[in-house]
Structure 1
Amino acid sequence: MSFRQTFAPILDFVYPPRCPACGNGIAGGSPTGDDAFCAPCWGKLQLPGQPWCATCQHPFGADHFGAEAQCARCLADTPMHDGIAAATIYGDVSREMVLHFKHGGRIALAGPMGRTIAARIGQIGGENPLVTPVPLHRWRLWKRGYNQSAMLAKVVAGTLGLEFRPDLLLRRKATPSLGGLDPGQRRDALKGAIACNPRVELAIRGRNIILVDDVLTSGATSDACVRVLKKAGADRVVIACYARVRHAQDVPKRETPETVGLGRPRD
């Protein structure tokens, strides 16, 4: 029995475990710690599952056309990526997790969120992949104090026993917040923003890559990253995220610490 399991009753009495999404206490505690949701949040958490698109793993509805079926987006424009592993579907609970982590300074959420992403990757990541985050521009990194995607990627790599490479991609120019922009505007805003790090370009050639981000909305940012990685010689690039927005959903509008009532982020 581990130290945590032995002293769990005492720790739970002194520091009652709380749901990472809503903050309410969890009845009975949990020896696994911060991975546990309360029953109401767990009931509302949306998890992706089959049937889904054979190319991007976007969940289908009840009507589908077999294991090799593709969604309308992939049929209209074949993506450069080699699959998407999403831990959750963007909804009330995953939204709270992302906002508290990204804007509320609750960096401890990187653990449970990253482990959940890792559990969804499976064989889609290919053989011995490198794990790299979507890069953050230095000015935004300075303002926020951390790159949330890099923190998630580090947990994913550690959980799966893979090599963590936070230095593969660079964000050369600051881009405006993409929230509220349509897909075309997002692509325009990202032109020339993402580049391969010339000092480590050789490490990319012939390798499988897991590209980690917190939320996948229109896919403009991840597509720009995949394009750069493929141009540098990556064999396969899989996108891994905590929450993905359904195609039929509206892209979430820009949310700031003030608009969601989280106060200023703690750097």
Structure 2
Amino acid sequence: MGDKLSSLEWLPDTVDRAPLTSAPLTARLAFPRRFKQGLQLLLNAVFPHSCPVCDELVQSDGGVCLSCWQTLELISAPYCERLGIPLHYELGPNAWSAAALVNPPDYDRARASVLYNGPAKELVKRFKFYGEIRLSKLLAVCMLNAATELLQSDSILIPVPLHTARLRERTYNQSALLAREVGTRLDCQFILNGLFRTRRTNQQVGLKRDARTANVRGAFAVSDDFLPNVSGANVVLVDDVLTTGATVEECARVLKAAGAARVDVLVFALVDPDKVSEYSD
């Protein structure tokens, strides 16, 4: 898990910093931009933004306060080469955890930005279930460090899909928003409809690993649009949270059966393996 002080070296723009002490920027800008800034200040005064975790006032919409940012449990080396889970001590390059050795996943590698605890859990909840899609920018920026390790020049980002019925209920696929944000920021290819759900599955909440695996078995297929290009492709699956991995493993099996050369997994948050039973995918 990352050092809280060193984590400040790459604060995203959506993290609220201390106020600047230099002369007002508005004094040095041309009128149109000065007018826009004045209007934004007025709007911020009338409709102040709040941190989605603690409701503390912040300067930008979709941002978090510095205090909440510092309590995020950032994942950094050493971690398992295969599962991306933090290791308690350095085992050397490309080390596998005991969990990966005992039960290697069908995907090649998984990487996450943070552990699914505290503020991270609240951010995902608000983004995924409360319609706060503005948080996609913050979560995607946090994912960039992990993404650069997985992405190759020919990699294709593909989100874990929602069933059409659930998509109508939620109105958006949180994984697709993250894939688009990451792909745009890193200037890499993304295909938002690369996979689709063949049937509606039950919620994974409360299900054990075997039940989760059975729940999603046969629930995904490669779309007709992507099928001609999947052979030999390096795919990076994008999702918000990785719990037992049942969903992304099923997606990886389908992609590899269709000819994908490699399937990695990129998520914002990773559930602590010791706490998997407490959470859902």
Q: Same fold (TM over 0.5)?
A: yes
Q: For residues 56 and 209 of structure 1, what CA distance do their matches in structure 2 show?
A: 16
Change (3 A) 1:208 1:85: same
The letter for the 2-side match of 1:46 is: E
Residue 22 of structure 1 is matched in structure 2 by: 54
Q: Does structure 1 residue 175 correspond to structure 2 residue 205?
A: no
Matches within 5 A, 1:18-97: 18-26=50-58, 29=59, 33-34=60-61, 36-61=63-88, 63-97=89-123
Aligned residues: 248
Distance in 2 (CA, whole Å) between partners of 1:35 and 1:138 is 27
Deviation for aligned residue 1:198: 3.3
Instruction: Please tell me whether residue 198 in structure 1 is matched to residue 224 in structure 2.
Output: yes
Partner Cα distance (2:101, 2:279) in 1: 27
Give, in angstroms, the shift of residue 124 of structure 1. Answer: 1.9
SS in structure 2 of the partner of residue 248 of structure 1 = helix
Question: What's the RMSD between the two structures over aligned residues?
Answer: 2.3
1:2-55 per-residue CA deviation (whole Å, 9 max, x = no partner) reads 959x838836545544323222113xx3xxx45642133123211111111122
Query: What residue is the counterpart of 1:145 in the other structure?
Result: 171
Kindly provide the CA deviation profile for residues 182-222 of structure 1, in whole angstroms up to 9, marking residues without a partner as x.
11010111111111123421111111111110111000000
Q: Specify every segment of 5 or more residues in structure 1 that has no aligned partner in the other structure, as ranges.
A: 256-267
Aligned identity (percent) is 33
TM-score, length of structure 2 as denominator length: 0.81
Q: 2:41 aligns with which of 10, 33, 39?
A: 10
1:206-250 C-alpha deviation (Å, 9 max, x unpaired): 111111101110000000011111111112211111111011113
Q: 1:247 to 1:253 in 2, by over 3 A?
A: closer
Pair 1:128-2:127 in alignment: no
Superposition deviation, residue 254 in structure 1: 5.8
CA distance in 1, matches of 2:136, 2:273: 26
**In the alignment, is the contact (CA less than 8 A) between 1:51 and 1:60 conserved in 2?**
yes
Read off the aligned partner of 1:121 and give its amino acid letter.
A
Determine helix, strand or coil for the equivalent of 2:50: coil
Unaligned runs of 5+ in 2: 1-24
Q: Where in structure 2 are the equivalents of 1:185-224 lying within 5 Å? A: 185-224=211-250
User: 1:123 offset after TM fit, Å?
Assistant: 3.0
Rounded to whole Å, the distance in 2 between the matches of 1:72 and 1:34 is: 42
1:233 alignment partner in structure 2: 259
- What CA distance in whole angstroms lies between the structure 1 residues aligned with 2:98 and 2:280? 26
